[in-house]
Amino acid sequence: MEDPNGSVSHSERKPLSEVVGDCVQRWFQDTFKQARAGDPAMMVLVAQMFHSGYGVPKNEQKIRDPSGSSRKPAYRFVG
């Protein structure tokens, strides 16, 4: 609840780590949506997010290189 000065009461504040975690998850969801729509840059970013566990539990099984070539990576979502 806000006090008359517009401040949020101390009991309603979230820890900064929780706020940042929520932002990271939303960023992943937005990026994943764009990747599913076919944006190649977002596909690479989502693959990196899955690889590192940024905004989503780490899961290297969700990505793979269908070409088998390490020269020019092309990512495809599995599942």
50 within some domain: yes
According to the model, what pLDDT value does residue 67 have?
38
Helix (H) / strand (E) element for 63: namely: strand 63-64
Burial class (CB in 10 A: 0-12, 13-18, 19+), 61: exposed
Residue 2: band (very low, low, confident or very high) from pLDDT cuts 50, 70, 90 = low
Domain holding 71, by residue range, is: 14-77
Domains contained in the chain, number? 1
Choose between 69 and 29: higher pLDDT: 29
23 within some domain: yes
Mean pLDDT of 4-29: 84
9 within some domain: no
pLDDT tens per residue, range 34-73: 999 989 999 999 989 888 888 888 877 776 644 344 444 4
